Amino acid sequence: MDSIKVIIWLFPIIFMVHDFEEIIIVEAWKKRYANQLKILKKAPFSDLKSTPSFSIGVAIEFIVISLVTLFSCIFDSYLLWYGMFFGFAAHLVIHCFMSAKFKHYVPGVVTSVPFLPICVYLLYVSIRFFTFSKFEIIAYCAVGIATVYLMVFLLHKGMGTFEKLIRLLEKKVS
């Protein structure tokens, strides 16, 4: 496997390690900071219903990221991958800002701190493999940010539906 393929496949790996932190911690964190979260206009993870429903959203994101990565490798077309990886790196910055604004730990910040410089480095190194124009880079970074944030927004909005699905499946199993 050549170097660029290794870099490309680091995206789903880094994503999952980061999201494992969120999945494992978020419910206990919401209980721990319940009083502080009540006074915020828009609290981090305010739309979280349960860990299982959150995990469904993470699984969908992982599938999308993995498919973008796979298709990028198969077709040697890396613009969308680059843009989405850039969007993910921007997402890590948001975790740092959320934690600073909240003045406490926010799920995802522990992995965001070491992964952010790694992502910036990987974005820098990978650009050397590609022959993208500056316009393409800027355009796809904008597309990547929009795609990542739209996906996160829609999946967070879908938490209620995921929760209903889980409850329905629980009833059928029992």
* Band (1; pLDDT cuts 50, 70, 90): low
CB 98 within 8 A of CB 30: no
Which residues are CB-contacts of 114 (< 8 A; sequence separation ≥ 6)?
A: none
How confident is the model at residue 166, as a pLDDT?
92
Q: What is the mean pLDDT of residues 85-101?
A: 95
Q: How high is the pLDDT of residue 79?
A: 94
In this structure, the dihedral spanned by the alpha carbons of residues 110, 127, 90 and 83, taken in order and rounded to 10 degrees, is -130
Instruction: Give the mean pLDDT of 126-136.
Output: 90
pLDDT for residue 2 is more than 80: no
Measured distance CA(69)–CA(11) in Å, rounded: 8
**156 — pLDDT class (breaks 50, 70, 90):** confident
Give DSSP secondary structure letters for 92-132. HHHHHHHHHHHTS--TTHHHHHHHHHHHHHHHHHHHTT---
Q: Are 43 and 104 in contact (CB under 8 A)?
A: no
Could you give the CA distance from residue 124 to residue 80 in angstroms, rounded to a whole number? Answer: 16
| Residue 118: HSE in the Cβ half-sphere, 13 Å Cα cutoff | 15
Q: What is the predicted pLDDT for the residue at 142? A: 97
pLDDT of 98-122, one tens digit each?
999 999 999 999 999 999 999 999 9
Query: Per-residue pLDDT tens for 12-65?
Result: 999 999 999 999 999 999 999 988 888 877 778 877 878 999 999 999 999 999
